[in-house]
Amino acid sequence: MTGIGLCPVPVLLCAQTIDTVTLSEQSFTHHPFVYSTFASLFDRNDQPYLYTADVEHGLRIYDINDPMDPQEVVAQWPPVFGGLKPTNLFQEGDLLFVALGGFQGITQNAGLAILDVADPANPVLLDRWDSSAFAHGAAIVRVQDGYAYLGAMSDGLVILDVAEPTDITFVSAFLPDTTWPGIVDYPPNARGMELSGDTLFLCNDAGGLRAIDVSDQSAPFEIGHYVNPQQPPNTADAYNNVRLVGDLCFVTTDFCGFEVVDVSDPANMQQVAWVNPWDCSGLSWFGSDGHTNELITARHDSLIFLSGADSEVLIYDITAPAMPQLVGGLIHPNDSAVVWGLDVKDSLLVLNYIDNSTVIFPPQPYFANDGGLNRSTDGGTTFENLNATLGLTQFNGVALHPADPEWAMGGTQDNGNLRYTGSPLWTDRTGSDGGFVLVRGDEPSRVLAASAESTRVALVVGRNGGRPVPTPRLGSRLSTESAPARSLK
C-alpha cells in the first residue's frame, strides 16, 4: 500500500522563527500492488490539481479541490511515454516537464516528456525524447531559459533545448569526474540539482556536490566540488538533492542527514552546518532510522521540509541557517512507511510513499510497504510477516509486552489500536484512529493508548481481550478502577 498523503501546514506572511509545526493528515491515496510514487507537484498556476510521478503506475493527476477527498482525473501509464517510467516533475507556466526512465533494478533510457497542462484535467503531450546513449534512467529534471537539465544517474548531466516544446533537441552531456572524492568504489549518480544563474549545483550521490558552469549549454564544465569535511571514516557519502536559499545550499545526504553549504564562491564551497540526526557511521546505511532524499523550503524560507524515508518527514526552522532547529514532522521509524519525495504549497504538504517489498537485489536500507508489521528475531537478517489482517494498515506506534514476546499493541491510521497475541490475526480494541501506545512496565495488564481527536482511552488487556475505560476529563486523574485487570496468562 503506497501512494500520496496530504497534510496542512501553517501559513506565514513573511520569514520568521517557528517553534512548532503540527501536521494533520487530510487524505491518503493508495496505489494497488507494489507501485510507488517518487515525485508529486502541486500545480504552480494555483489550480487545485496535483501531479504525481508514479514510476510503474505512470503519471497521475488529481483534483484536490477538496484535499480530504482527492479525485484522480488523469491516468497515463508508461506506454504513453514509450514505455518509460515517470520519475520526476517540474512545471513552468502551462508546461509540465516529466523526467522519464526507471533507474532502479532494470534501468531504462533517460528521457523527457513535455505536456501542456493549461487544463490539467485534459493534458496534451507535446513531445517526448529519450536516448539509448544514457541507459540508466533519469532522477530529476529542472528547466531554465529554454533548456531542460536531466540528472541521468551514472550517465551524468544531460542538457536539452526545449525552447520549442513540440521539438525537444539534444544539446550536450557532461559526466563529472567519477574518481572524486573516492570514498566509495561505485559510480556516482546525478540525483538532484538546482540552478542559480549560469551555475548548476549537482548532487552527484557518491560524487559529492558539484558546481557546473552552464553559461554555454553546449559545453558545460565543472568549477568546484564539495564533500563533508567531517565525513566519518569508512562511511559512504550520498548527496541526494539540493535547494538554494540565497548563497546557501541545503543538501540532503541520506543517512547522514543534511548539510548547509555556503556557495557564494562555487570554487570554494564551505560547510555552514551539518545536521546528523541518525549518527551515521560505517555500514549504518543499512537499517538507519532515516535517509533524507528530497527537500523543499517553505514559509518564505523559514522552514525546510525533508523526506526522511523510514522517518517519513522532518521539518526544521532555518531562520538561523547555522543552527537548524527541528520543529515538527512525522517521524515514525521502523513502521514500513517510507517517504521518497514531497512538495509544499501554501497550507498543504504532500508525501510520496514507496514500496520496495519485492526488491531482492540490490540490498535495501529499509523495508517499505506502508502496510502492517514484520518481526525479526535475528537482528534484521530475516523477517516474519505478522500481517494476516494488516494488508492496508499504517502503524503510528507499537508497544511490546515487557515479558511476553507474543503480545503487542499498535496504534494505526483509520484502524484503531490493534492487539497481537501470537496469531497474525490482529484485533481492534478501540476503533477510529490509533496513536502511540504505552504498556506499564511493572503492571503490564494496564495499557495507555492514544485514540482519535487527541482523546485518550485506557485499556485493561487480558487473555480474552480488553475493554475501554471512559476517557477522563481534562485535568482529572486517569483511573482504571472501573475495569479490573485480568491475568495476561
- Please give the residue range of the domain that contains residue 109: 2-353
> Does 127 reside within a domain?
yes
Kindly state whether residues 198 and 94 are assigned to the same domain. Answer: yes
Taking only the tens place, the pLDDT of each residue in 252-278 is 999 999 999 999 999 999 999 999 999
Kindly state whether residues 314 and 442 are assigned to the same domain. Answer: no
> Does 344 reside within a domain?
yes
Kindly state whether residues 225 and 125 are assigned to the same domain. Answer: yes
Kindly state whether residues 65 and 186 are assigned to the same domain. Answer: yes
Kindly state whether residues 347 and 404 are assigned to the same domain. Answer: no
> Does 406 reside within a domain?
yes
Residue 230 has pLDDT above 60, yes or no: yes
Least confident stretch, 160-169, 399-408, 469-478: 469-478
Burial 333-347 (b: 16+ CB within 10 A, else e): bbbbbbbbbbbbbee
Kindly state whether residues 432 and 341 are assigned to the same domain. Answer: no
> Does 487 reside within a domain?
no
pTM of the model: 0.75
Kindly state whether residues 246 and 345 are assigned to the same domain. Answer: yes
- For residue 85, what are the contacts with CB-CB under 8 A and spacing of at least 6? 55, 56, 58, 78, 100, 101, 102, 108, 137
Kindly state whether residues 222 and 294 are assigned to the same domain. Answer: yes
Q: Which of 178, 256, 254 is nearest to 210 (CA)?
A: 178
Kindly state whether residues 448 and 332 are assigned to the same domain. Answer: no
Give CA–CA dist 218/160, Å, rounded: 10
Q: What is the CATH number of the domain that holds 120?
A: 2.130.10.10
> Does 379 reside within a domain?
no
Residue with cell 485506557: 458
Kindly state whether residues 93 and 239 are assigned to the same domain. Answer: yes
Least confident stretch, 87-101, 177-191, 214-228, 393-407: 393-407
**How much is the CA Rg of the chain, to the nearest whole Å?**
24
**Side chain identity, residue 165:** P
Question: How many domains is the chain partitioned into structurally?
Answer: 2
> Does 474 reside within a domain?
no
Kindly state whether residues 234 and 294 are assigned to the same domain. Answer: yes
> Does 483 reside within a domain?
no
What is the grid cell recorded at 184?
Answer: 566509495
Kindly state whether residues 340 and 271 are assigned to the same domain. Answer: yes
> Does 476 reside within a domain?
no
Taking only the tens place, the pLDDT of each residue in 61-90 is 999 999 999 999 999 999 999 999 999 999
Return mean pLDDT, the chain: 83
Give CA–CA dist 255/247, Å, rounded: 25
Residue 38 has pLDDT above 80, yes or no: yes
Q: What's the rounded mean pLDDT across residues 157-178?
A: 98
